Amino acid sequence: MGLAERRRIATIKESHTPRFQSELNSSIGFSMPFEIDIASFPEDKTILDCYDSYYESYGPGLVAQAMKSICSDDLGREAVKSKFNKIIFQNVATSPDNPGDKNVELKDNTLFVRESFYGYSDKLFGEDELRTIIESLL
């Protein structure tokens, strides 16, 4: 891994994570830990390039938007609070040969949202799709 990749990973950790945490809290009207699993992003230029291109629309930014829709009323906020108390966003792509599969899982009071950042648009959620899946878990 080169210096450029290490810098990009540091930027995700130091800049993106706090910003998306703030956006999520503002969107849902209460505080909930929101973690971007940095370790799930391999030190691969292509994956990091895709993350840089799509994190607002299809990554952590999408999670905040979907949660805003879900928590738009008291019923939604209470449903979320009763099912999970943390959100973890993970990348599932490890290489061009293993893009992984997008999925959402509720486990141990944590909502895991997983997408593939390797240029596979079919491995990224749309807002309506992600909202519908999360609502089905509530």
In single-letter form, the type of residue at position 83 comes to K
Tell me: the pLDDT tens digits for 77-134?
999 999 999 999 998 988 778 888 999 999 999 999 999 887 667 788 999 999 999 9
pTM greater than the 0.75 cutoff:
yes
Domain that holds residue 125: 3-137
Tell me: the pLDDT tens digits for 38-47?
888 877 777 7
Whole-number Cα distances in Å, 46 to 13, 50, 133: 18, 6, 28
Please tell me the distance from the alpha carbon of residue 87 to that of residue 112, in angstroms, as a whole number: 6
Kind and range of the H or E run holding 45: helix 45-54
Say whether pLDDT at 10 is over 70.
Answer: yes
91 CB neighbour count, 10 Å cutoff? 26
Please tell me the distance from the alpha carbon of residue 25 to that of residue 113, in angstroms, as a whole number: 17
For the chain, what is the domain count?
1
